[in-house]
Amino acid sequence: MSVVINRLKYAILSHRWGKSEPTFQNLKPEGEGYKKLKEFCVRAKEYGCRLAWSDTCCINKESSSELDEAIRSMFTWYREAYICIVHLAQTNSLETLEKDEWFLRGWTLQELLAPLRMRFYYGPTWTPLTQNPNDKDDAKVVQALRRTTKIPGNDLRNFQPGPNRAWEKMSWAASRKTTRIEDVAYSLTGIFDITMTVAYGEGDRAFKTIHGRAY
């Protein structure tokens, strides 16, 4: 991975999943999900990236070992991306960020914190939210993100993972939801910089494990 990072810039996508997302097994050029993927690749190219990574089609979720590796590595992948491109589907302004479901999901918390460079786009036309090449350098964007997430500006700009400030970090995730109950815990491992066994089916025991280790 380090060889690729040093030689090739890659963009990474953060988004809410729809009903017709392309997958590792089925990358058919049809449906809204494929259109979103295509637009993401266009934006990645504008940043000079020769590689683009999207979770729906770059992870073979039928392989338990690959899924385990992906979950353990997710924070690092987002941190080391040249640019994280965020697509918002339910808002079109800084004043209404809280209305977008992107800010209510579990996995998007680390996708917000990990990258050092982000760009927000919205709607079917992928309109940029600002004209800045990096929205994390925009004081107005950071202020709007602080209002929406209650996360301090320094953490939004340059978050450092670790087990410290556990109560505060837990509060950032408290109102967020995940499709599977285990992901409540798995989506926090990168934020706390801990390793745990990925075992879907263990239910809320996963959260009890991270709860004990974080504190």
* pLDDT of amino acid 116: 97
Q: What's the CA gap between 11 and 154, in Å, rounded?
A: 23
What is the β-pairing status of strands 118-122 and 10-14? Answer: unpaired
The residues facing 11 across adjacent strands are 52, 83
Interatomic CA distance for residues 94 and 185, integer angstroms: 29
User: Considering Cα of 47, then 28, then 177, then 204, what sign does the dihedral take?
Assistant: negative
In this prediction, residue 127 carries a pLDDT of: 96
Distance of CA 95 to the CA centre of its chain: 21
CA dihedral for 164, 100, 36, 126, sign (positive or negative): negative
Give the DSSP letter string of 152-170.
-HHHHHH---SSSSHHHHH
pLDDT in tens, 71-126: 999 999 999 999 999 999 999 999 999 999 999 999 999 999 999 999 999 999 99
pLDDT score, position 137: 97
Give this prediction's pTM.
0.90
Give the number of other Cβ atoms within 10 Å of residue 123's Cβ.
Answer: 12
- What is the pLDDT tens value at each position of the chain, 215 positions in all? 555 555 789 999 999 988 788 888 888 888 889 999 999 999 999 999 999 999 999 999 889 899 999 999 999 999 999 999 999 999 999 999 999 999 999 999 999 999 999 999 999 999 999 999 999 999 999 999 999 999 999 999 999 999 999 999 999 999 999 998 889 889 999 999 988 878 788 777 666 665 555 54
CB 36 within 8 A of CB 15: yes
